[in-house]
Chains A and B, each alone.
Chain A
Amino acid sequence: MMDARDASDASGLLNRDLVTGLAAIALGTLTYFTSPGWDERAWFFPNTIATGLIVVGALLLGSAAMRRRREAVLGTRMEILDAGWFAGSLLVYLYLVEAIGYLYATWVFVFVESLVLGKRTRWRTVPIVFVLAGLGAGFITYLFGEAFNVPLPEGALL
């Protein structure tokens, strides 16, 4: 639920049951199209679930038709931006992990996230944050990679 102030900032109001119902029916139908049919024992269970999804999806559509309550399913504009930023930065982080290895990718990720998520960043503190991010990344890498002997992703650098 959101308050009145948020409502003015909400980007599009949707009915949760409607969206979930449509998604469930789409997923169920897609499963039917992917499966070779009911005859094969291996596909009996996925097809049963697909049927369940379509039935529940239809019931959700019925519920949406009866109660037309609309909510900010996606959240406020700021929430969407925050979620988009974080998901995007995680994706870039994973790409970097693959490309340059866990230690350096984590260093970059922790440094950037600390700056972006920090309350106020002064230019003077940037080098300190950079060094602390490196120490943090080094600590996690050492703790898991060396002390606990947990395998870590390696890249071109480490």
Chain B
Amino acid sequence: MIDGLLVALEPANLLLMVAGVAGGVIIGCLPGLTATMGTALLVPFTFTMEPASGLVMLGALYVGAMFGDAVPAILVNIPGTPSSMATAFDGHPLAQQGRGQHALVAACFSSAVGALVGGFALLVLSPPLASAALAFGPPEFFWLGAFALTIVGTVVGDSFLRGICGGLLGLLLSTIGIAASGGANRFTFGHYELSAGISLPVALIGLFAVPQLIKLVQERRQKTQIAPYISRPGVLRASLPEIARPIPLLRASAIGTVTGILPGSGPSLANLVSYNEAVRWSRDRRSFGKGNIQGVVASETAGNAAAPTSMVPLLTLGIPGSNVAAVLLGALLFHGLRPGAELFEDAPEVVYGFIWAMIIGGFIVFGLGRLMTPLLVRVIQTPISVLVPAIAALTVVGSFSVRNSIFDVYLMLILGLLGYGAVRLGIPVATIALGLILGPIVESGLNTSLGMADNSGWLDVFVLRPICLVLIAMTALSILWTVYARRNERRDALVSKAEAED
């Protein structure tokens, strides 16, 4: 743990953290660009770094993006990412009242508090959970992969079946190349470049960046109105009694911490739940939605507390709790690091360095966020005609640099168009990415388990092991719960429609 802190505090890594937070804040504040896309774009550039430095930078970028997304939510009423949706509810009315700086200061302060609480929760909870993962063998890893795919399929997107379809497509893509067992060439169609399989960073850039760029191009005609921003000195000091109330901060931090740990929910859900609770516990409920600064505090604190804790299932079990976590899983695997107990034992400086980066990132957000705010007001006005070609040029650099291959750049475009098609069909690209990332783990678990089953029997290997039983039950429960919840949603929608017609 201390080694990780020392790694994070190395001058070069501190500098990378500042750069990561600054980059994350800018990415987060540009409407249409997501933390996932920013992380995916940055992954290839971390390969020339030490794994610890690369992950420190990625962690800091994520923390920065979680604050940056509040800027367009407050000033333009467009959340930079889904995790700042509730920030806009009160942040934008505040900006319209000429109190935009108050809202941004509140967002910066609560983001920092959330990141600190979530970061420490990640630090405390991860090691014991990772130790529990030591009991996992190949059959358990096979079921864990199946569970991860199911849970993401159930939580992300509006159709469970289409989510599963995306996961299966990702798994199929992961089988391209020479098979680890048997050495057969699978789906290479004569292209030797495919023998080593699809490079994860190339796939992540294609799947997350290209559909987003097409969306930006399509939405360029929409007009946005930016609220006036007037900068005055001493706003933080004046706002502190209002924004630094311990009970609302603790409540929002606790909601964010717990929601973040649940796989598939993460910051996007945490900010909404926390906002709802802030309204419920307030004596002045009617002021919410009209410019109550506590609405901004509740949303930002929870969203930023959930960001680090969404890494708990990733670091301990290898289940990504959010889209960014899925990209980070890809980054870890590409650096040759496998999440779980091994990661904590074999590369403690990397994993703890990453966790500390998220905690220190909270402090950096507080300092840098306030300094950068006047600049961010200009950044959010960057025209699409500048943003899109610049990011497209970066996707080429990122995908080429992994293996110095122009084939990979074309592959990135093909996967990007596949991702766009998936988005149009309502298949979340995160499920495809997750299938692609988890594919080798699931296949290796399956093949080793099949070998074990030749001696012990299928039932003993795949079912009659305590952890396997728990994982099978959790997978079945998540499927049944989704079917039940979706049925209820449809019934409620029909009832509402009938009532409206009456």
Q: Mark B41-53, 1 if CB is under 8 A from A, else 0.
A: 0000100100000
CB pair B159 A40 closer than 8 Å: no
Chain A residues with CB under 8 A of B210: 90
Interchain nearest-CB distance for B471 vs A (Å): 17
- Given contacts A59-B161, A60-B161, A94-B410, whether A40 and B184 have CB atoms under 8 Å apart is yes
Docked complex: B390-438 residues within 8 A CB-CB of A: 390, 392-394, 396-397, 400-401, 404, 406, 409-410, 413, 417, 420, 424-427
User: Do the beta carbons of B393 and A140 come within 8 Å of each other?
Assistant: yes
> Count the A-B residue pairs with Cβ separation under 8 angstroms: how many?
171
Instruction: Flag whether B183 is at the interface (Cβ < 8 A).
Output: yes
A110-158 interface (Cβ within 8 A of B)? 110, 113-119, 133, 136-137, 140, 144, 148-153
Known pairs A20-B427, A40-B184, A97-B406; A110 contacts B172 (CB<8 A): no
Would B393 and A110 count as touching, CB distance under 8 A? yes
| Bound CA–CA A149/B161 (angstroms) | 44
The residue that B409 contacts in the complex, of A24, A42, A110, A153, with Cβ under 8 A, is A153
Q: Provide the residues of chain A in CB contact with B164, threshold 8 Å.
A: 52, 56
Mostly helix, strand, loop or mixed at chain A's interface?
helix
On chain B, the residues within 8 Å of A97 by CB distance are 396, 406, 409
Contact count band on A: 35 or more
In the assembled complex, A34 has its CB within 8 A of some CB on chain B: yes
* Chain A window 92-120, contacts with chain B (Cβ cutoff 8 Å), 1 for yes, 0 for no: 01100110001000100110011111110
Pair B447/A41 contact, Cβ less than 8 Å: yes
| A114 contacts B389, C-beta separation under 8 Å | yes
The reply to whether B413 and A94 form a contact with Cβ atoms under 8 Å apart is yes
Does A153 contact B400, Cβ atoms closer than 8 Å? yes
From B389, B392, B406, B409, name the one whose CB has the most chain A CB atoms within 10 angstroms.
B389
Q: Is the CB of A140 within 8 A of B397?
A: yes
Chain B 150-192 interface mask (CB, 8 Å, partner A; 1/0): 0000000001011011001101100100010111101100000
| Residue from B159, B165, B397, B425 within 8 A of A53 (CB atoms) | B165
Cβ A117 vs Cβ B168 within 8 A: no
A118 with B218: CB separation less than 8 A: no
Contact partners of B401 in chain A: CB under 8 A: 144, 150-152
Cβ–Cβ < 8 Å partners of B466 in chain A: none
Bound-state CA distance A153–B398 (Å) is 11
CB-based nearest A residue for B384: A117
Asked if A49 is an interface residue, CB under 8 A from chain B, the answer is yes
Query: Does residue A74 face the partner (Cβ distance < 8 Å to B)?
Result: yes
Set A46, A87, A133, A140: member contacting B172, Cβ < 8 A:
A46
Which B-chain residue is minimally distant from A117 (CB atoms)? B385
A144 to B385 alpha-carbon distance, docked (Å): 22
- Specify the chain B residue showing the minimal Cβ separation from A105: B396
B227 to chain A, nearest CB (A): 21
Residue B452 at the A interface, CB < 8 A?
no
Residue of B393, B404, B409 contacting most chain A CB atoms (<10 Å): B393
Residues of B within 8 A of A79 (CB): 218
Task: Out of A23, A42, A73, A118, name the residue touching B186 (CB < 8 Å).
Answer: A42
Flag whether A7 is at the interface (Cβ < 8 A): no
* Bound Cα distance from A119 to B417, whole angstroms: 25
